[in-house]
Amino acid sequence: MKQLIRTFAVIFLVAFALMYLTSYLNKSQGYSGGNTLTIYNWGDYIDPELIKTFEEESGTKVIYQTFDSNEAMMTKIAQGGTTFDVSVPSEYAISKMKEEDLLLPIDHSKLPNLKHIDDRFLDLSFDPGNRYSIPYFWGTVGIVFNPDLLDGWQLTSWNDLWDPRLRNQILLVDGAREVMGFGLNSLHYSLNDTNEDHLQEAKRKLGELTPNVKAIVGDEIKMLLAGEEAAVGVVWSGDASEIMDENDKLDYVVPEEGSNLWFDNMVIPKTARNLEGAYAFINFMLDPDHAAQNAEYVGYSTPNKDALALLPEDISGDTRFYPEDDVTAKLEVYDNLGKRMLSHYNELFLEFKMHKK
């Protein structure tokens, strides 16, 4: 009995000591009270130096909180209980958040640096007039492949994936829109197609792909491809650039049938408390110097044309990540298909995953 009491007493003592230490550290960092700005972003999706610079320039303390999926982030914002001043959802999430009234409209007059954004990336279907969102990074969906493992074969199209030479060599990202999207694209349908016959056709065609599919995975796809675990992967361009940083044998292509054009965007959720700070931060990130610094750190494509000019030629001239106009013309942004259609996409994708080998 004595031992029990002693042990639990020690545990509580240690816990309280640690709590004291935490609050001390928090204070020394200036996190408690005063002028703070809470940013809700993907993990490691901003150069930490920029946060420091912003804090010094504005005198605002930044609280950086992270999420791992758009859906989880939306649930958190919808449920309330927290104050997020700026968040960075993907474009399809923005239409949903708009519908559910989770976003505050953005006053463009408070963002003088908005002029640096390339017109091509403004006023898109998911947010006409950019009333609620400001582009942060953009990219495509495509194929990463390893010519060394494929006798030098350079893939160019989605239909190449069905080649019997790729048996058990393909890794796919675990995303219903992405996989159904390239299934539709390979049949030269739009990746926003809602025609039931076309969808069933795409599902059947994807079913034929299963012998070639080694696995359907998440973020670890980068590690697996860079480690040459498989020869081919269907990934987002941002991931592709990271993979190729790690392993320069690999190459990336935006397939000729067309593909998806995606955006991550800065928004102000309705939970925002520090509106001044939110505008100051977004404007700060739109500054060409800062945007360029961030693009170099994160490695994704920046929509900021003046920042692009500041980037070294080997980044800005890379047509795989800053494709030329004829390729861009074939890219499509995901439309918001509505909840019912979306869940139909997901059912079809689930059936594809359950397809017996």
Q: Considering only residues 62-81, where is the footprint of other proteins by CB under 8 A? A: 63-69, 71-72, 74-76, 79-81
Q: Does 227 bind other proteins (CB under 8 A)?
A: yes
3-state secondary structure of 251: strand
Tell how many helices (H) and how many strands (E) occur in the chain: 14, 10
Q: Does 22 bind other proteins (CB under 8 A)?
A: yes
Window of 140-148, 192-200, 212-220, 306-314 that interacts with other proteins by CB under 8 A: 212-220
Q: In angstroms, what is the minimal distance from the CB of 312 to other proteins?
A: 20
The Cα 123–Cα 99 span in angstroms is 17
**Amino acid symbol at 132:** Y
Q: Are 113 and 266 in contact (CB under 8 A)?
A: no
Instruction: State the SS3 of 281-323.
Output: HHHHHHCHHHHHHHHHHHCCECCEHHHHHHCCHHHHCCCCCCC
Q: Does 309 bind other proteins (CB under 8 A)?
A: no
Q: Does 321 bind other proteins (CB under 8 A)?
A: no
Residues 6+ away with beta carbon under 8 Å from 188: 257
Q: Does 228 bind other proteins (CB under 8 A)?
A: yes
Q: Does 220 bind other proteins (CB under 8 A)?
A: yes
Q: In angstroms, what is the minimal distance from the CB of 11 to other proteins?
A: 5
Q: Does 49 bind other proteins (CB under 8 A)?
A: no
Beta carbon nearer to other proteins, 3 or 319: 3
Instruction: State the SS3 of 30-79.
Output: CCCCCCEEEEEEECCCCCHHHHHHHHHHHCCEEEEEEECCHHHHHHHHHH
Beta carbon nearer to other proteins, 330 or 353: 353
User: How many C-beta neighbours within 10 Å does residue 141 have?
Assistant: 27
Q: Does 350 bind other proteins (CB under 8 A)?
A: yes
Q: In angstroms, what is the minimal distance from the CB of 110 to other proteins?
A: 25
The Cα 86–Cα 60 span in angstroms is 14
Q: In angstroms, what is the minimal distance from the CB of 169 to other proteins?
A: 11
Where is 310: in which H helix or E strand? helix 305-310
Q: Does 270 bind other proteins (CB under 8 A)?
A: no
Chain mean position to CA 256:
23
Q: In angstroms, what is the minimal distance from the CB of 267 to other proteins?
A: 18
Compute how many residues bind other proteins; rule: CB under 8 A. Answer: 72
Window of 42-50, 114-122, 140-148, 281-289 that interacts with other proteins by CB under 8 A: 42-50
User: Going residue by residue from 171 to 190, which x/- string records binding to other proteins, judged by CB under 8 A?
Assistant: x--x-x--------------
